[in-house]
Structure 1
Amino acid sequence: MGKVYLVGAGPGDPELFTLKGKRLLEICNVVVYDALVSAPILAMANPLADRIDVGKRRGHHTLLQAETNKLLIELAQMHPIVVRLKGGDPFMFGRGGEEMIDLIKAGIAVEVVPGITAGIAAPAYAGIPLTHRDFCSAVTFVTGHEAAGKYRPLVDWDAIARAGETIVIYMGLHNLPQIVPRLLHVLSPNTPIALIRQGTLPDQVNFYSTLGKILDQLEAQPFTPPAIVV
């Protein structure tokens, strides 16, 4: 019986990938990776290792999550070292928790290797401090794309806005027309907002606006995902 390593590939820049993640890629027997993993990081994998693409972009999934979980169990029964390579951090909106639970239920050993999450790295590369001694003492990380049939109510955007601190939204670009009006129930239309695409990569794009203007601007000039919203 092998072991599965849930490895965070980081936000994209290969120099931000962890040393432990790199070492595991170099010795693994098989690597199961998502679409958001950059090619230079995947190139670090053992050349003899099998490589399995399980997709995971909006509207396109090579495998459903349950199928991916089943695949990891099967691979661990055949190989000593299985790397599950996930964009960003496995436990930050990466569904790593679901994979870990199913692996543990199947009696498979699991180890999590954290990665730098895009919600921290992309704003940093854009020069946006998420906290600042004079202005902001907290930050909220929230998904803008919740699972259907979730066990508890949807995100309370009013409550998040009332906290008056930095908000980082993952997978939120598509749903901004629903999210922004909720935030405007509490926040000023002059509240700054930034959209960051391809964070930490050479072709990173930063778009700056305000809550009151952003939707009209996006209608005139669409901004394509994946993107972080701050």
Structure 2
Amino acid sequence: MAEHPAYPVGLRLAGRRVVVIGGGQVAQRRLPALIATGADIVLVSPSATPSVEAMADAGELRWERRPFADGDLSEAWYVLIASSDTEANTRASAEAERNRTWCVRSDNAEAATAWTPATGRSEGVTVAVLTGRDPRRSAGVRDAIVEGLRDGSLVAPRHRTRTPGVALVGGGPGDPELITVRGRRLLAEADVVIADRLGPRDLLDELPPHVEVIDAAKIPYGRYMAQEAINNALIEHAKAGKAVVRLKGGDPFVFGRGMEEAQALAEAGIACTVVPGISSSISVPGAAGIPVTHRGVAHEFTVVSGHVAPDDPRSLVDWPALARLRGTLVLLMAVDKIGAIALTLIAHGKSPSTPVALIQEGTTAAQRRVDATLETAAEAARTGDVRPPAVIVIGDVVSVGASSGGDSGSGDGHDDPADGPDRG
């Protein structure tokens, strides 16, 4: 029988009786997938691992705390034999054969009438791999396929009608490898990508030729109308039945105007999916060796937009309150305002010697770090030619880790809260 290939099939077990013999490690691994099918699961075993016992306590299966007995497989559709009692396993396997019930044996695959494939799942796709007597190869092939589906390197076009919509995808702080798995997959499936200048640009080179890439920074009507024009572009392409990805730097909802776009889409009746991104406010300091919190040093961190000066009537920041905080202050979009911000914090009680780090192009090959104090930060930014995108960290955590970075690299453009400012 082993000379012939197994016939692959997907079992629909919802509401159908499944019997599991044995409550050890094998059952612990297999049970979650069986539970997910909605099967009526009966576990027959004198003992079980704590995890299996927790499944029984949660009502996900019925546990009969005893050894296998003849007749236990009556009316079962599927049987998993995974006990350490060889004699009981043999009797259970024989009963399954008599009942014509498909039976998997973890102790003797040759005696089984069914084999469990190496399985994986990604966005509604189930991958099941059988390679006969080589389970490690099965797992390897499974992992390669699932990883390809998740990161977008393996793309299978959808042929059935799909609901038009927009995905607001946070691209992370700059390094293309720091986008989420879901974000990368949605990019691979997109028909149109509307990208910020501060998004991970290297990812755009990986897109298929048919994908239309729109530079959000070059959408017409000028800066004042830019956000409205971006909203209109998202709606227009989605209504045309296309899968649209709005690729933004950092996280869409951290100074990224993601909610404005989501609200515009909702008003237009367009489905919107939000894919969070790794925020530069945490990741960029971390990449430069700075923890935003550290035991005994900082118990909180505050993220602030510095795109308007403290004395600007449009500012919504309570700078005097920030000056009194003992934790870490992370500034985004603040390179050209760091002088005014530093003076304001000092005026309200912050020590002029408070450590400051300015991190330009964080997580990219051009990353560099300039260290200063609150008193010298403006001069350090000027003499160091620090340009956006840059993240500025103020607080004692700056001195916790070793300094890192070189002297090369510079940012592009200027601070613009409409263009993915989560990168700084």
Q: Same fold (TM over 0.5)?
A: yes
Residue 29 (structure 1) aligns with: 191
Residue 6 (structure 1) aligns with: 168
Go from structure 1 to structure 2 and tell me whether the alpha carbon gap of 1:44 and 1:146 turns closer, same or farther (over 3 Å shift): farther
Task: Return 82-91 or 45-54, whichever deviates more.
Answer: 45-54
CA-CA distance at 1:61 after TM superposition:
4.9
Contact 2:281 2:332 in 1 (8 A): yes
**Which one has a larger percent helix, Structure 1 or Structure 2?**
2
Which of the two has higher C-alpha Rg? 2
Correspondence for 2:255 among 93, 98, 101: 93
Amino acid at match of 1:33: A
Task: Return 85-94 or 47-56, whichever deviates more.
Answer: 47-56
For residue 84 of structure 1, give the secondary structure of its aligned residue in structure 2. strand
Residue 75 (structure 2) aligns with: none
Correspondence for 2:343 among 143, 166, 181: 181
Residues 19-52 of structure 1: per-residue CA shift (max 9 Å, x gap): 1011101111111001012332122334321110
Q: Higher relative CO (CA 8 A, sep ≥ 6), structure 1 or 2?
A: 1
Residue 179 (structure 2) aligns with: 17
Amino acid at match of 1:108: I
Contact 1:9 1:86 in 2 (8 A): yes
Go from structure 1 to structure 2 and tell me whether the alpha carbon gap of 1:146 and 1:65 turns closer, same or farther (over 3 Å shift): farther
Amino acid at match of 2:272: V
Counterpart CA distance in 2 for 1:219 and 1:202 is: 22
Task: Tell me if 1:214 matches 2:384.
Answer: no
Residue 160 (structure 2) aligns with: none
Task: Return 134-143 or 207-216, whichever deviates more.
Answer: 207-216
Residue 112 (structure 2) aligns with: none
Correspondence for 1:66 among 213, 225, 228: 228
Counterpart CA distance in 2 for 1:24 and 1:139 is: 32
Amino acid at match of 1:83: V
Counterpart CA distance in 2 for 1:219 and 1:111 is: 41
Task: Tell me if 1:196 matches 2:359.
Answer: yes
Contact 2:173 2:278 in 1 (8 A): yes
Task: Tell me if 1:44 matches 2:206.
Answer: yes
Counterpart CA distance in 2 for 1:146 and 1:74 is: 32
Task: Return 211-220 or 131-140, whichever deviates more.
Answer: 211-220
Counterpart CA distance in 1 for 2:358 and 2:202 is: 25
Task: Tell me if 1:113 matches 2:275.
Answer: yes
Contact 1:25 1:44 in 2 (8 A): no
Amino acid at match of 2:337: N
Give the root-mean-square deviation of aligned CA atoms.
Answer: 2.1
CA-CA distance at 1:213 after TM superposition:
1.5
Counterpart CA distance in 1 for 2:366 and 2:385 is: 17
TM-score by length of 1: 0.91
Contact 2:358 2:381 in 1 (8 A): no
Contact 2:165 2:238 in 1 (8 A): yes
CA-CA distance at 1:225 after TM superposition:
1.6
CA-CA distance at 1:62 after TM superposition:
10
Counterpart CA distance in 2 for 1:162 and 1:132 is: 19
Contact 1:30 1:79 in 2 (8 A): no
Task: Return 138-147 or 187-196, whichever deviates more.
Answer: 138-147
Q: Residues 116-195 of structure 1: matches in 2 within 5 Å?
A: 116-146=278-308, 154-185=316-347, 186-195=349-358
Task: Return 13-22 or 191-200, whichever deviates more.
Answer: 13-22
Amino acid at match of 1:103: L
Counterpart CA distance in 1 for 2:335 and 2:200 is: 21
Contact 1:130 1:139 in 2 (8 A): yes
CA-CA distance at 1:55 after TM superposition:
1.4
For residue 217 of structure 2, give the secondary structure of its aligned residue in structure 1. coil
Amino acid at match of 2:267: K
Residues 183-209 of structure 1: per-residue CA shift (max 9 Å, x gap): 112211110001000100111010001
For residue 228 of structure 1, give the secondary structure of its aligned residue in structure 2. strand
Contact 1:17 1:41 in 2 (8 A): no
For residue 370 of structure 2, give the secondary structure of its aligned residue in structure 1. strand
Residue 368 (structure 2) aligns with: 205
For residue 43 of structure 1, give the secondary structure of its aligned residue in structure 2. helix
TM-score by length of 2: 0.51
Contact 2:252 2:276 in 1 (8 A): yes
Counterpart CA distance in 1 for 2:243 and 2:319 is: 42
Task: Tell me if 1:54 matches 2:231.
Answer: no
For residue 206 of structure 2, give the secondary structure of its aligned residue in structure 1. coil
Amino acid at match of 1:95: R
Amino acid at match of 1:203: A
CA-CA distance at 1:220 after TM superposition:
3.8
Gaps of 5+ in 2: 1-162, 394-424
Counterpart CA distance in 1 for 2:203 and 2:224 is: 20
